[in-house]
Amino acid sequence: MNKTDFFNELYKLYGPVTRARNTFFYTKKGVRLTDCYQENGRAILGWEGGSAFTYFKNTLSRGQVGSFITEDHSRLKKAVTELLASNRNIHFFSNKLDALKAGLALSPENTAVFRPWANTQTNWPEVDCLVLNPPLPWTDTVFILATKEELKTDKEKLANTIELPYALQAALTRAIYNLIKALQEREEKDWFIYDPVLTKYFERKGPYLYPKIPQEKYDDFLLHCLKLGIVFNPDYKEYSIVPFGADKGVFTKLKNSPFIY
């Protein structure tokens, strides 16, 4: 099911979402939904964006939105370098495919997608090119390609890069530091407590959930769960995410009304 159709179904059942907070949607009809979609990982730190939104607002309030020169993106570069524990250059793209293509053009054998709490066997500092999906809910057209500082870059291979306004770079910088902090705080014990219900339908790797359900049954499963107040990723080929910090009771209805496949 595509995302548009799925969220139209949510609207038909519960009306518009009036607030998104932590891992929950609150709807016009007074229903709270547990969000395991989390904007395809963008909201993995919560829908509020934490202090990242504050940094964005403060930058706007200072009027740093013109074509004049502001501080460069060295702060964001420093944050990405700390996240990946290796000196990095950063390049911005408007979609994941362009970022991956550029990484593969620069380093065909050593390019990957960085996913926090996953691929724990991967030594991230040793990967030449890493594509980052920034943990900020509304930046769905921003992807960061982090290349090793010593890796020789080619302008032709980075032809599809984009520029980002300083205010957005400030917000992304704070979001990356928030992610670094979360990586130190969240661990396996925060994910497996939901296994008795979720692993009937998903294979879990860290906080990420990959469907076990046959693809032809997945749309029915999505709608079944939506009626029980749970939102999973509508894209079968993508992952859903365990709702960090949510009470185990959010899955009680699914436990009591299991989906048969």
Mean pLDDT of all residues in 170-198 = 95
The angle at the Cα of 128, spanning 172 to 184, to the nearest 5 degrees, equals 50
pLDDT band at 123; cut points 50, 70, 90: very high
pLDDT at 69: 67
Average pLDDT of the chain is 93
The angle at the Cα of 27, spanning 179 to 15, to the nearest 5 degrees, equals 130
Q: How far is CA 38 from CA 4, 152, 206, in A?
A: 15, 35, 15
pLDDT tens-digit readout, 57-95: 888 888 887 777 676 668 999 999 999 999 999 999 999
| Residue matched to tokens 């290349």 | 147
pLDDT tens-digit readout, 165-183: 888 999 999 999 999 999 9
pLDDT at 73: 63
- Cβ atoms of residues 39 and 140 within 8 Å: yes
pLDDT at 65: 77
pLDDT tens-digit readout, 227-244: 999 999 999 999 999 999
Nearest to 45 by CA among 138, 162, 112, 109: 138
pLDDT at 118: 85
Lowest-confidence range among 84-88, 98-102, 136-140?
136-140
Q: Identify the burial level of 111 via C-beta atoms within 10 angstroms of its C-beta, where 0-12 means exposed, 13-18 middle and 19 or more buried.
A: buried
Kindly report the three-state secondary structure assignment for every residue of the chain: CCHHHHHHHHHHHHCCEEEEECCEEEECCCCEEEECCHHHHCCCCCCCCCHHHHHHHHHHHCCCCCCCCCCCCHHHHHHHHHHHCCCEEEEEECCHHHHHHHHHHHCCCCEEECCCCCCCCCCHHHCCEEEECCCCCCCCCCEEEEEECCCCCCCCCCCCCCCCCHHHHHHHHHHHHHHHHHHHHCCHHHCHHHHHHHCCCEEEECCEEEECCCHHHHHHHHHHHHHCCEECCCCCCCCEECCCCCCHHHHHHHHHCCCCC
pLDDT at 247: 94
Q: What percent of the chain has pLDDT over 70?
A: 98
Mean pLDDT of all residues in 114-141 = 90
pLDDT band at 49; cut points 50, 70, 90: confident
pLDDT at 48: 83
pLDDT at 11: 97
Q: How far is CA 204 from CA 94, 102, 173, 191, 259, in A?
A: 29, 30, 29, 9, 18
